[in-house]
């Protein structure tokens, strides 16, 4: 296991171990209470995937491709390792859910977003326990 105790700059001028201590804030628009996601809606995925160094915010775009039977949202937006735990918003800036996985197909992959409905149900259950 690698532990970084202080930052280090290598011979290529790349700094290792110097990570941000603050991250961008998300402000929820007031119109989100009446917003219902629809098939084909444009969305954005925000996260810190390993492919960007793990601490650089990245944004990918896509559409809502489908709604799964278990309540998740499937999207064409690219989700990579590290996007999990980020967040997904619609074209109005309304929170849709948390990117969690990728379903790999032969020709195309679909990203899985845990919907706000599932998140709310989980939070309600944990409040009563």
- Residue-wise pLDDT for 34-44, tens only, equals 778 999 999 99
What residue ranges do the domains of the chain occupy?
A: 38-127
Please compute, for residue 76, the number of CA atoms within 13 A of its CA located in the half-sphere on the CB side: 11
Is the pLDDT reported for residue 6 higher than 60?
A: no
Q: For residue 2, what pLDDT band results from cuts at 50, 70 and 90? A: very low
Do the beta carbons of residue 113 and residue 103 sit within 8 Å?
no
Architecture of domain 38-127: Beta Barrel (2.40)
What pTM value is reported for the model? 0.72
Least confident stretch, 22-31, 63-72, 90-99: 22-31
Distance CA 66, CA 115 (A): 12
Distance CA 125, CA 55 (A): 32
Residue-wise pLDDT for 58-92, tens only, equals 889 999 999 999 999 999 998 887 777 789 999 98
């Amino acid at each position: 296991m690698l532990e970084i105790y202080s930052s280090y700059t290598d011979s290529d001028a790349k700094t290792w171990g110097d990570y941000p201590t603050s991250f961008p804030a998300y402000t929820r628009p007031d119109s989100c209470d009446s917003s219902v996601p629809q098939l084909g809606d444009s969305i954005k995925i925000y996260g810190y995937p390993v492919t960007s160094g793990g601490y650089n915010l990245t944004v990918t775009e896509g559409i809502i491709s489908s709604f799964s039977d278990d309540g998740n949202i499937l999207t064409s937006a690219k989700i990579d390792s590290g996007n999990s735990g980020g967040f997904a918003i619609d074209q109005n800036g309304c929170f849709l859910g948390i990117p969690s996985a990728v379903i790999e197909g032969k020709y195309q992959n679909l990203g899985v977003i845990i919907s706000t409905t599932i998140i709310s149900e989980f939070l309600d259950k944990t409040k009563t326990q």
